[in-house]
Amino acid sequence: MATERRQSSPSHQRNAPASGSRSTKPEGGKSPNEGEGSRSAARDYNQRTQRFIHEGRVGQSAEEAKRAVESDERDKLEEAERVGRGHRRT
């Protein structure tokens, strides 16, 4: 069985740096931009969430949220949520 050689598609050529251009990668060869789905951001979020849980702050935060929703602050919170939802990408 003969192996076929694939040609690179034009979309890959668009992303290639122009000849003579400088690379944005640091000395180590890894780009500081991890792109969408950043592993370091996910790791940081998970660590902070675990710390929040282990420090026993969940119940306290839930009570504060409940008080805010049941107070005069409710209208402001609902408006902020509405505005935030309006900024979502589709």
Sign of CA dihedral 52, 42, 44, 67: negative
> Percent of the chain beyond pLDDT 90?
51
Helices and strands, number each (H, E), in the chain: 4, 0
Q: What confidence score (pLDDT) does residue 77 get?
A: 93
What is the enclosing helix (H) or strand (E) of 43? helix 39-54
Domain boundaries, the chain: 58-90
Question: Are residues 37 and 43 in contact, defined by beta-carbon separation less than 8 angstroms?
Answer: no
Tell me the pLDDT band of 83, cut-offs 50, 70 and 90. very high
Question: Are residues 31 and 23 in contact, defined by beta-carbon separation less than 8 angstroms?
Answer: no
